Structure 1
């Protein structure tokens, strides 16, 4: 017997906030892997590790090479479920056709928040490709929409794009969400047109910064003004100079809106799951997780903000819940489960099995700075761009970097996303921890920098703007 499997990636959602703000998905789930850890601290290497089961230094897709183009299906777990049609819908620009992520799937849909009807015209691209302005631009848009194969969808995209652009500057809620509704719609459409068993990958970006109040968010969950966004402050200022009294209000707004975004995802994704279940006769299992979490400037986040240049528990400890799995798992599985094993889990579920993939020790790795770069000179950049590795053993966590620093942290399996430095001195990293990695850390960092690609520099203006919106520029 084979099952459909749907992997739901809630981008940038940390475990503790998920547990507090996603009660519907938890109620739907019959199994929780309580000690799930991401393989890296940001989207590109984490998604590559999910697909391949390899650490970033092994698959080679990370800060210095963000392109999936050299990845073949045989390199991924999809090769082990050949009878399943591989479908994907993603609002994450780094998990899109721009960076070759779609190549290992049979059908894939790139989602942009401004493009509510994917079959219609891409309004942002239309504007970037035109020199006209004012009335002439509107007339040219109408002519192009009427010539398009999907006229009504194109007109709808145009109206919603303009409305969202106008309301974004007004003290009212943002009209359009950050892609959740379109990812859901595209996922349902793909499933509806697929014969036989399928695997569906979905990436929801609504909890990813910048955060702002969106029509549909629960206003009782936050106190941020309608026109406030997290672009109001600079992450790097907090990361370099520390949290000050000037930041307190903005950080509070951000944390509250982050929780409200997860609540919105909880409602949207629960409805999406119910629709998929109604559409399919075959048993379908849903895996709900996140590619990584988010630092929110708590002390246990080392007072860091965002998801760059660290391997804190807030980045690595992510939810992992199974909805409608085969019999075999306990309702709460307390041992470590790494995203390096996620592919094997999906293959097992697709074959109506519950493989034992829990470990006493698991690793994670970050090759360099994930988002832009800090202000300052070369030495400042060198620090934030350092390579980091970590390894878990029980309630101990060892972290070391390519500049020679090493730390030991205490963690608590009853306190998601919490860590505390065990001492102030550098520590000896155990041999078992280093054994997870094939290449010495400094040697790999130098090698990666030497072959760095310029994939990000080749994107068109539409993608460039989307990367800016997400804080990657």
Structure 2
């Protein structure tokens, strides 16, 4: 079997329960719905970590955070993947692939060294991080890239109001040009995108609200809503029910707009005649707590369903009929899935032992608060959550804590977790270092996204 073209798209911060392909009442993702009609939908997929940086590093290495060493951002370890750990892009490049990446997220690129192995890479602020020979950037793109630092410094915040209508559209247009250019070549192409419409702040276009029969916002509402949402994300205020409902409407409209951009990518693949034989992987790096759970609760809300349960749809080369997989799937299996085209998706992604997730709290920010490691083991029905100090919690299918005589079940999960942990490697220990020094542009963007105060 020849190596297929690969399209790998991470829809940043997309909750499984807000995706219409998984039953959400609003038609938030018609493109994903259509893709699921001819692809494999994993009903119980879980991220390796409930926030962007370690989750992406896990997908690109096939390792859990404790193995690759990228855990909670600033508190105890480096932000950069160790050179000794191979990324999936480096493997594909060695196998003869031409590779290009387009990222909406500052964590995903040169900051974390996820850009290793790419022939072309466009960063979150539209800087051309790795410049190849396919001429996918226009003269305007190159001028913007050359001046992006000065623009960010002048604006203090890197024009986040333009992030949605300009940055996302620009990245998808460049990816489309890449897909067309490489379709004429013999070597297979690997195309990666991170699109983050589902990550606050939210500025979806008015027609996305109209598509969902929602009331479009006025000129001031998006700025006011996002200011209040950021205060909630930073723990400075609550999210009242009426505001939460409107936030979810903005969230759903953002998904609808993003789905439109995903349709553009798939349409280009079809237009070039490369779709049928391509491997297409669409997932999310984590979910998002939007007032569903107490932000100060124990165990942390980041260990619960709204943060760890993600959509995952895979179209195999030449697949044209739908399949549903109920077994628990881990996004760490994406490494094997894309680097071994003959490996069946279920075999690459699923385990009868359940799926292991790791969380290190606090995630990011400059804080003297000690880091606590949490692990989650789920069989898609029950969820066992344990802290490194031994505190543990067991949740049932409804997400509620289990009470009564549940010791046999708790002991079974505890033993299964111990068995899984014993098999983990410690290759990421070399990632320990002093906290990174960030540029003012990246700091401003991370503040805007709620990662820094």
Structure-2 change in CA distance of 1:112 and 1:403 (3 Å): same
Match of 2:143 among 105, 117, 120: 120
Aligned to 2:448: 469
Q: Secondary structure at the match of 2:441?
A: helix
1:191 is aligned to 2:179:
yes
Q: What is the alpha-carbon distance in structure 1 between the residues aligned to residue 166 and residue 80 of structure 2?
A: 24
1:204 is aligned to 2:195:
yes
Deviation of residue 65 (structure 1)? 3.0
Check whether the contact 2:55–2:285 (CA below 8 A) recurs between aligned residues: yes
* Greater relative contact order structure (CA < 8 Å, 6+ sep): 2
TM-score by length of 1: 0.75
Check whether the contact 2:164–2:203 (CA below 8 A) recurs between aligned residues: no
Q: What is the alpha-carbon distance in structure 1 between the residues aligned to residue 78 and residue 321 of structure 2?
A: 35
Q: What is the alpha-carbon distance in structure 2 between the residues aligned to residue 463 and residue 240 of structure 1?
A: 22
Deviation of residue 224 (structure 1)? 4.6
Q: What is the alpha-carbon distance in structure 2 between the residues aligned to residue 46 and residue 204 of structure 1?
A: 15
Q: What is the alpha-carbon distance in structure 1 between the residues aligned to residue 343 and residue 414 of structure 2?
A: 38
CA distances 1:77-122 after superposition (whole Å, capped 9, x unpaired): 7526712222211111100123322123232111327999532224
Match of 1:182 among 170, 173, 196: 170
TM-score by length of 2: 0.78
Check whether the contact 2:127–2:144 (CA below 8 A) recurs between aligned residues: no
CA distances 1:305-325 after superposition (whole Å, capped 9, x unpaired): 9xx862111111111112454
Q: What is the alpha-carbon distance in structure 1 between the residues aligned to residue 445 and residue 237 of structure 2?
A: 28
Aligned pairs for 1:342-353 within 5 A: 342-348=334-340, 350-351=341-342
Q: Secondary structure at the match of 1:400?
A: strand
Check whether the contact 1:11–1:206 (CA below 8 A) recurs between aligned residues: yes
Q: Which runs of 5+ in 2 are unaligned?
A: 129-137
Match of 1:33 among 37, 42, 51: 42
Q: What is the alpha-carbon distance in structure 1 between the residues aligned to residue 154 and residue 359 of structure 2?
A: 40
Q: What is the alpha-carbon distance in structure 1 between the residues aligned to residue 303 and residue 215 of structure 2?
A: 28
Q: Secondary structure at the match of 1:267?
A: helix
Q: Secondary structure at the match of 1:387?
A: strand
Check whether the contact 2:328–2:379 (CA below 8 A) recurs between aligned residues: no
Q: Secondary structure at the match of 2:400?
A: strand
Aligned to 2:30: 23
Aligned to 1:99: 112
Farther off after superposition, 211-220 or 37-46: 211-220
Q: Tell me how large the CA RMSD over aligned residues is.
A: 3.7
Check whether the contact 1:78–1:86 (CA below 8 A) recurs between aligned residues: no
CA distances 1:270-302 after superposition (whole Å, capped 9, x unpaired): 12211122135472221110011111222xx45
Q: Secondary structure at the match of 2:326?
A: strand
Match of 1:53 among 27, 48, 62: 62
Check whether the contact 1:3–1:352 (CA below 8 A) recurs between aligned residues: no
1:259 is aligned to 2:252:
yes
Q: Could you say which structure has the larger radius of gyration?
A: 1
Aligned pairs for 1:379-458 within 5 A: 381-382=369-370, 385-411=371-397, 419-423=399-403, 430-438=414-422, 451-455=432-436, 458=437
Aligned pairs for 1:33-432 within 5 A: 33-63=42-72, 64-71=76-83, 74-76=86-88, 78-79=90-91, 82-112=95-125, 117-122=140-145, 123-127=147-151, 176-177=164-165, 179-194=167-182, 195=185, 196-214=187-205, 216-219=207-210, 220-222=213-215, 224-227=217-220, 228-229=222-223, 230-233=225-228, 243=238, 247-281=240-274, 283-298=277-292, 301-302=293-294, 310-323=302-315, 325-327=317-319, 331-348=323-340, 350-351=341-342, 354=345, 356-357=347-348, 358-360=350-352, 361-372=354-365, 381-382=369-370, 385-411=371-397, 419-423=399-403, 430-432=414-416
Q: What is the alpha-carbon distance in structure 2 between the residues aligned to residue 359 and residue 309 of structure 1?
A: 25
Check whether the contact 1:38–1:292 (CA below 8 A) recurs between aligned residues: yes
